C-alpha cells in the first residue's frame, strides 16, 4: 500500500508571488497575540472611502434590488456569508438583533450571500438560500453573489466578513469572524453602528 | 508494505481567504491508498485545522465528474469532520488528477477559508 501525502505549500508561494496576501484589508495575524486578535473586527486602516457600487440582480427579502444611492442617509451593514459556513450562521443571531434594534433608527443590514464552491454544492440555488433565510429568521435583504463580484469588489477574503457604511456612503469599518450576542465583538459592532447612526 | 514519499501532485493551489501561514501550517494533506480493488483518497487536516462538513470536500475531474468526500463521524455540532473524510474510487491509482476543493477552519480563527488545489 502506498501513501502519497501532499503538503500544500505552494499556495502560500503563489499567494505571495501575486501579492494577494499584501492587499488592503484586515490586518494579518503575526504571532500568538495577533492570532488571538485575528477573528475580531479590525479598526479602519485607511481614510473613509466611497463604498463600491454592487450590481447584484438576484435579491431576497426585498421587492427590488437595493442600490447604494437609495441607501444614502442610512447606515448600511454588509454581511458576506454563505449558509454552509458554520461561523457565518453562528453570527446570524447577532445580525438579526441589529436589524431588529436599529432598522427603524436608520440601519439597513444586507446579506451578501457568496458561495464557496461551484454550483454542484447547492450554494448558488435560490431555493436553498431562501430556506436558509427562513431557518435562521433572517428578514433583512440578501443579495445572491453567485459570481463573487461583490465579494471581489470589496476585497473580501473570509466568511463571514462585515463592512459598515456610513450615511454618506463611505466605508468606515471592516472586519471578519464569527461573533455572538453580547460578546466583545458584538459590543464593538454595536457601538460602531450607534456611532454612525448618531452622525 | 506501506511507504511514504512526497508527491508532486500539487501544481497550483490558491487560498481564497488566506491569512499568512508558514509552509508547516499547510491546512490539508491528501493520502492515496490502495483498498481492495480500488483506491481510497482521504483528506487529513493539519493540526489546529478542521474540515467543514457542511460543505463536503470535492474532487473535480477534467471530464466534469465530481467526487465528494464523506465521513461517518462529525463533531458534536455537526459542523466539522471528526475523522478524515474520504472517497473510494474504482481501480488502483498511483496518481490523482483534478481540482480539489475544501473549506477549512483553524481552531484559533472564527472564519471559513476555501482551499482550491489543482492536482
Q: Looking at the predicted structure, is the pLDDT value of residue A145 above 50?
A: yes
Inter-chain CB proximity B111 and A160 less than 8 Å: yes
Determine the distance in angstroms separating the CA of B88 from the nearest CA of chain A, rounded to an integer.
14
Interface residue A43 vs chain B (CB under 8 A)? no
* % chain A with pLDDT above 70: 77
Looking at the 3D structure of chain A, how many domains does it have?
A: 1
The answer as to whether A162 is a domain residue is yes
The answer as to whether A160 is a domain residue is yes
The answer as to whether A152 is a domain residue is yes
Alpha carbons B113 and A126: distance in angstroms, whole number: 22
Alpha carbons B114 and A190: distance in angstroms, whole number: 29
Q: Which pLDDT value is given to residue A142?
A: 98
Q: Which pLDDT value is given to residue B108?
A: 83
pLDDT digits (tens, 9 = 90+) for A29-63: 333 323 233 334 455 555 789 999 999 999 999 99
Q: Which pLDDT value is given to residue B93?
A: 85
Domains of chain B are 12-118 (2.60.40)
pLDDT band at A28; cut points 50, 70, 90: very low
Full residue range of the structural domain in which residue A105 is found: 88-117+133-199
Q: Which pLDDT value is given to residue B25?
A: 57
Choose the mutation target among A42, A86, A147 for the interface with B, i.e. most B CBs under 10 Å: A86
The answer as to whether A199 is a domain residue is yes
Determine the distance in angstroms separating the CA of A70 from the nearest CA of chain B, rounded to an integer.
31
Q: Assess: ipTM above 0.85.
A: no
* % chain A with pLDDT above 90: 76
CATH of the domain at A160: 3.40.30.10
Q: Pull the grid cell for residue A173.
A: 469599518
DSSP B35-77: ETTEEEEEEEEPTTEEEBSSS--EEE-TTS-EEE-B-S-B-TT
Amino acid at each position: 500500500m502506498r501513501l502519497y501525502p501532499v503538503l500544500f505549500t505552494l499556495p502560500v508561494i503563489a499567494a505571495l508571488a501575486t501579492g494577494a496576501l499584501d492587499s488592503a484589508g484586515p490586518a494579518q495575524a503575526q504571532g500568538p497575540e495577533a492570532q488571538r486578535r485575528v477573528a475580531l473586527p479590525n479598526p479602519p486602516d485607511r481614510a473613509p472611502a466611497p463604498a463600491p457600487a454592487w450590481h447584484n440582480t438576484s435579491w431576497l427579502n426585498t421587492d427590488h434590488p437595493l442600490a447604494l444611492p437609495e441607501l444614502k442617509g442610512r447606515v448600511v451593514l454588509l454581511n458576506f456569508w454563505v449558509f454552509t459556513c458554520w461561523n457565518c450562521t453562528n453570527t446570524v443571531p447577532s445580525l438579526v438583533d441589529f436589524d431588529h434594534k436599529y432598522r427603524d433608527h436608520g440601519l439597513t443590514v444586507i446579506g451578501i450571500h457568496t458561495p464557496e464552491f461551484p454550483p454542484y454544492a447547492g450554494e448558488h440555488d435560490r431555493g436553498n438560500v431562501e430556506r436558509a433565510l427562513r431557518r435562521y429568521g433572517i428578514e433583512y435583504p440578501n443579495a445572491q453573489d453567485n459570481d463573487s463580484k461583490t465579494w471581489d469588489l470589496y476585497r473580501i477574503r473570509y466568511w463571514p466578513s462585515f463592512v459598515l457604511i456610513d450615511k454618506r456612503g463611505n466605508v468606515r469599518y471592516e472586519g471578519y469572524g464569527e461573533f455572538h450576542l453580547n460578546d466583545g465583538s458584538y459590543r464593538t459592532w454595536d457601538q460602531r453602528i450607534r456611532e454612525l447612526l448618531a452622525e | 508494505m506501506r511507504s511514504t514519499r512526497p508527491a508532486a501532485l500539487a501544481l497550483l493551489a490558491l487560498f481564497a481567504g488566506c491569512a499568512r501561514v508558514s509552509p508547516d501550517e499547510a491546512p490539508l494533506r491528501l493520502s492515496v491508498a490502495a483498498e481492495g480493488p480500488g483506491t481510497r483518497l482521504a483528506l487529513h487536516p493539519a493540526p489546529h485545522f478542521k474540515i467543514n462538513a457542511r460543505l463536503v470536500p470535492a474532487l473535480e475531474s477534467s471530464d466534469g465528474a465530481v467526487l465528494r468526500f464523506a465521513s461517518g463521524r462529525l463533531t458534536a455540532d455537526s459542523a466539522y469532520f471528526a475523522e478524515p473524510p474520504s472517497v473510494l474510487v474504482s481501480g488502483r491509482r498511483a496518481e490523482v488528477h483534478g481540482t480539489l476543493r475544501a473549506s477549512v477552519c483553524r481552531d484559533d480563527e472564527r472564519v471559513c477559508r476555501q482551499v482550491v488545489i489543482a492536482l
